[in-house]
Amino acid sequence: MAKKVTDFEKMEKSIKDSSAILNSIMEGPENIIAFSLDCDYNYIFFNQAHKTTMKNIWGVEIEFGRSMLEYISYPEDREAAKFNFDRALAGENFILIEEYGAEELSRNYWENIYNPIKTANGIIGVTVFCIDITERKKAENLLKDSEEKLSIIFQNANDMISLNLMNETGFPGKFIEFNNVASERLGYTREELLNMGPIDIVAPEKRAEMPKNAAILLENGHNTFEILHQTKTGEKIPVEVNNHLIQYKESEACLAISRDITDRKKSEEALRESEKKYRAIFENVQDMFYQTDIDGKIIEISPSVKRYSKFSREELIGKSVDMLYNNPEDRKKLLKAIKNEDEVNDYELLLKDKNNRLIYTSANAHFLFDSHKRPIGVEGSLRDITERKKTEENLKITQIHLADAMELSHLANWELDLPQGMFTFNDKFYSILGTTAKDEGGYSMSIADYIKNFVHPDDAPFIADGIKKSIEAHETAFGTGFEHRIIRRDGKTRYMAIHIRITPATESQQTQIYGSVQDITEHKMAEKELKNSIKEKEMLLKEIHHRVKNNLMVISSLLNIQSRYIKDKAARDVFRESQNRAKSMALIHEKLYRSTDLKNIDFGEYIRTFAIDLYHSIVSNPSLIKLNLNVEPAMIDINTSIPLGLIVNELITNSLKHGFPEGKKGEINIDFRHQNGNFVLSVADNGVGFPKDLDFRNTDSLGLQLVNNLTDQIDGTVELDTTNGTEFRVTFKEIEFNK
């Protein structure tokens, strides 16, 4: 009996020890949540963590011996719990991810481990271990959402996006992923692209550029470049590729974004065409270009309209073109002429300016049509021919006068009896004097009476002296001996040209003096008007030079403004170069405007002014690049000055832009001199030198093409010396100026 008591005590102690060990485990870390239920779902065990959790998620205080299902207030959660308990009570061990808990308290995600409690007599309950994985689940959901969003962006991007693992050579290998744009743009199936690499979609003529692009990618970790993709059907698509090296699944990969720049290329081409258009406008600046709709509303008109009409372009856009017609009916006649002839050329229109001054114009015009070949407007150009019309009108008047003169050219005759000192006049002579032979007492008149009654007092001394000189000269042919003024009987002053002929005396005949007289008043007045006209023309020519200069500066300013909106540097440089060309010609016209010689300029002074201006506009740090000028004064004709000015612009610009990379010091020497009957222009720099593999006579460079073409235009030669940097030398013959 004593032994049985001892054994029972040992067993009781062992049970207590095991219970203590189990409690120490279950009541250990807070994240270990455990509980046990009997076959009726009643609690037979739970740790403090489980009790706290039930309070937090269901708001209940649990007790031993009560059913856990009573504490679960959500029917769907209660049914799910009963189902899982029954699985474990049936002997199944399993793990589930579950979500339960009251929404108003805390509904969490759990990883639950279900274990049946097995004894020798069978299953007596179930033990559940719970781990709160709410935060992990949230992170997983966020990751999933992020991946879905990235997938949406990836597949719906307008650009082609692709991923390539870097191969053993360090270059991008075959595609491992790409978006739908890749298949749609290139025309390959997904399976085909997965067996291809970047080299397979690049146009053959561009593949030689790929090693260089790959090397830059490896060096910098990124690279952006332009290249041609070729589709499955052979179509070539210009793209801008943005490559980045990234880590993908512990491997180095290349992420490429390829943007179709077809539209941008078209825009660049349109930009170049626009530059040609501006150049055409510049070269035809005397013309005015316009577009109207079919009702006559002005859609577009060139800025040169202000020179013609005093209206600015902005004042006319959207207005009726009738406001420019002197007679609006003339527009109807123009439309009828275009309709009959398809287009009109040199069609004369009489317009009016803002001040109602009449303007004669020559029009070239045609209809604009829509896609259905219906006329929707008129497009054309106008040239001011007002001066031409005036000249034509004056010519007609002059021709009438000449015809009248021919008809009335019966010269007034006279004879002089020198010993008697008596003139004999005919009726025509008396008519010029505003009188008649009857009124003057006959056809004879003494020299003294003629001078007293008809010769202008200031001219009287010339009469006798003129006759004397003619006699001494033994004039044997009619010539203008002299001119003098007369005062007619009606008091009007007229100019007379005296024509004298002398027949020397012979043995039987004395010296005969006779001749004719001609009223040259109109000629004298015309001569005066001509002098005034010449003076006006000189002033007008000055004004033309001034306005051409202003127009060129306007074009230069327009190019400058337009270039601000251009992001592409190459296209922006084209505009700025065109701007400098306009400035070079503008300076020539300004020199002519300010010169007393309207045809020639001092080109040495021009080079000095223009070179310094261009130097300061391009060189940002004068301490790096020095400009040396050695130019002689030389008067150069405008027909040579303009192309030569453009040559100077191109050569100086070439040295400033290409001779000295950023930070390099050096000098630019400009020399202009007269040598052996020729003019020699030299532009030299001691910079990096001209590329040895580039033929400056055959190059795509617009600037060098201009230099070659303009040199030919002035019958000159251009040479390149690369011994010490770069030197261009232009030689042309000395100009023979018209006097």
What is the structure's pLDDT at 637? 84
- Please indicate whether residue 326 or residue 150 has the higher confidence score (pLDDT): 326
What is the structure's pLDDT at 182? 84
The arrangement of strands across the sheet holding 222-230 comes to: 172-178, 160-166, 251-260, 236-248, 222-230
pLDDT tens digits, 343-389: 989 898 888 888 888 888 888 999 999 888 899 999 988 888 888 88
Average pLDDT, the chain: 80
CATH number of 157-260: 3.30.450.20
Which residue ranges does the chain devote to CATH 3.30.450.20? 25-138, 157-260, 274-389, 410-515
State yes or no: pLDDT of 22 exceeds 60. no
pLDDT tens digits, 157-204: 678 888 888 887 767 888 888 888 888 888 898 888 888 888 888 999
What is the structure's pLDDT at 286? 64
Determine the distance from the C-alpha atom of residue 231 to the mean position of all C-alpha atoms in its chain, rounded to a whole number: 32
pLDDT tens digits, 248-297: 877 888 888 999 898 888 888 888 887 777 656 544 556 888 899 989 89
What is the structure's pLDDT at 228? 92
DSSP secondary structure letter of residue 68: G
Nearest to 586 by CA among 272, 302, 282: 282
Nearest to 463 by CA among 474, 473, 452: 452
State yes or no: pLDDT of 592 exceeds 80. no
In CATH, the architecture of 25-138 is 2-Layer Sandwich (3.30)
What is the structure's pLDDT at 420? 83
- In CATH terms, is domain 410-515 a member of 3.30.450.20? yes
Return d(Cα 583, Cα 587) in angstroms, integer.
6
What is the structure's pLDDT at 20? 45
What is the structure's pLDDT at 5? 47
What is the structure's pLDDT at 406? 39
Strands 678-685 and 666-675: antiparallel
Q: Give me the helices (H) in 157-287, please.
A: 180-186, 190-194, 198-201, 210-220, 262-283
What is the structure's pLDDT at 403? 41
Name the band, by pLDDT with cuts 50, 70 and 90, for residue 735: low
pLDDT tens digits, 297-346: 998 888 888 887 888 888 889 989 888 898 988 888 889 899 888 898 98
DSSP per-residue letters across 278-290: HHHHHHTTTEEEE
Q: Which CATH superfamily is domain 274-389 in?
A: PAS domain (3.30.450.20)
Which residue ranges does the chain devote to CATH 3.30.565.10? 599-739
Query: Distance of CA 566 to CAs 261, 278, 466, 572, 658, Å?
Result: 16, 16, 78, 6, 22
Name the band, by pLDDT with cuts 50, 70 and 90, for residue 686: very high
State yes or no: pLDDT of 612 exceeds 60. yes
Query: Distance of CA 50 to CAs 53, 104, 576, Å?
Result: 5, 19, 79
34, containing H or E segment: strand 33-38
State yes or no: pLDDT of 583 exceeds 90. no
State yes or no: pLDDT of 584 exceeds 70. no
CATH number of 599-739: 3.30.565.10
Asked whether the beta carbons of 515 and 418 are under 8 A apart, the reply is: no
What is the structure's pLDDT at 114? 96
Return d(Cα 588, Cα 607) in angstroms, integer.
10
pLDDT tens digits, 101-142: 888 888 889 999 999 999 989 999 999 999 988 888 887 777
pLDDT tens digits, 400-410: 664 455 345 54
Which residues share a beta bridge with 246? Answer: 253
pLDDT tens digits, 509-558: 777 777 788 788 887 777 777 665 545 444 444 444 444 445 555 565 55
Nearest to 628 by CA among 687, 588, 668, 578: 668
Q: Token pair of 541, please?
A: 């020519």
